Amino acid sequence: MSSRTAKVPQTQFRKRDLFYLVPLWFISLIAPDPYLYHKKGFKKKDIFYLAVICLAPLIWSDSHFHHLMVLAGIYAILALGLSLFMGYAGQISLGHAAFFGIGAYTTAILTTRYAVPTFLAFWASALTAALIAHLMGRPILKLKGYFLALATLGFGEIFLVIVRESTNLTGGVIGIFGIPWFSVLGFSFDTYLKQYYLAWGVVTGLFIFSKKSGSL
């Protein structure tokens, strides 16, 4: 393929992303700021956000947009988890991504090599990440301030080295392929649209939990 023909899909890709970005940016401008009333409990304005979440994939039906929003939902889940640690507990963590990776690799290994159902692998990954966090947290949380931040940063770097070097376990820089779709009671989330509602449903539930606990 020549370089001239290769530039066409890239240009179309950028125009398509711009088409999604502008309306979402406009929505962010007109949307009410949740921080202004977060201490007053839930208001009718929260329905606005739920409506946007539910209707956005129907308005923009392109699977590329759904895929981007699935990734955004995953990162939103990570941000909510980090807010519990930094906002509610008042601690600094720079190795939060390591626990995300531990859960992800646990799911990938169990489903691809041991044929564990995705639903069970999901809970196993959460328990594995929680167990390692508990074991690491006992000594690390004795530190405070910048020392705690440096310790969590070191843990994240150690995990990255383990992932790169343990090719038999993690696949190294290539990763793990053939991971099955997540399914519950025979229902498979095998499209980006289904994954969108799954991811943002989890985000909504975790947001409610965080808000009720007083961290948001």
Q: Is the pLDDT of residue 171 over 80?
A: yes
Could you tell me what percentage of the chain is helix, strand and coil, using 3-state DSSP and rounding each to the nearest 5? 75, 0, 25
pTM of the predicted model over 0.85? no
SS3 183: strand
- Per-residue pLDDT tens digits for 83-141: 877 877 777 888 889 999 999 999 999 999 999 999 999 999 999 999 999 998 888 88
Joined together, the tokens standing for residue 5 give: 């023909």
Residue position matching structure tokens 């965080």: 210
Strand residue runs (E) in the chain: 183-184, 187-188
80: CB partners within 8 A, 6+ apart:
203, 206, 207, 210
- Per-residue pLDDT tens digits for 53-84: 888 888 888 888 899 899 999 999 988 888 87
**What average pLDDT does the chain have?**
81
Are the C-beta atoms of 189 and 183 separated by less than 8 Å?
yes
